[in-house]
Amino acid sequence: MALDEPRDSDETFAVNGFTFLVNKDFLEKVKPIKVDFTGYGFKVDCNIQFGMGGGCSGCGSAGSCH
């Protein structure tokens, strides 16, 4: 996850005062995506397995960031 401006190639979702942008092509590969705020940061779950050494948002976990 990172701060970004919307582009024509993005799908935009407004949820509870947050606006999330996801590249449309990437979204087709990983959907569904679930984003939760844990009090320590955001937890992202999706329908894709990331290899070792790189997880979602660069947290370094395999699979979902927890």
What does the block give as tokens for 45?
């779950």
What is the mean pLDDT of the segment spanning 20-27? 93
What letter represents residue 14's amino acid?
A
pTM above 0.75, yes or no: no
Q: For 40, left (φ over 0), alpha (ψ -120 to 50), or beta? A: alpha
Q: How confident is the model at residue 24 (pLDDT cuts 50, 70, 90)?
A: very high
CA distances from 49 to 3, 15, 30 (A): 23, 25, 9
- Per the model's pLDDT, the better-predicted residue between 56 and 42 turns out to be 42
Q: Is the pLDDT of residue 49 over 50?
A: yes
The pLDDT of residue 48 is 84
The pLDDT of residue 1 is 79
Which residues have a Cβ under 8 Å from the Cβ of 12 and sit 6 or more positions away? 6, 19, 20, 21
The pLDDT of residue 54 is 46
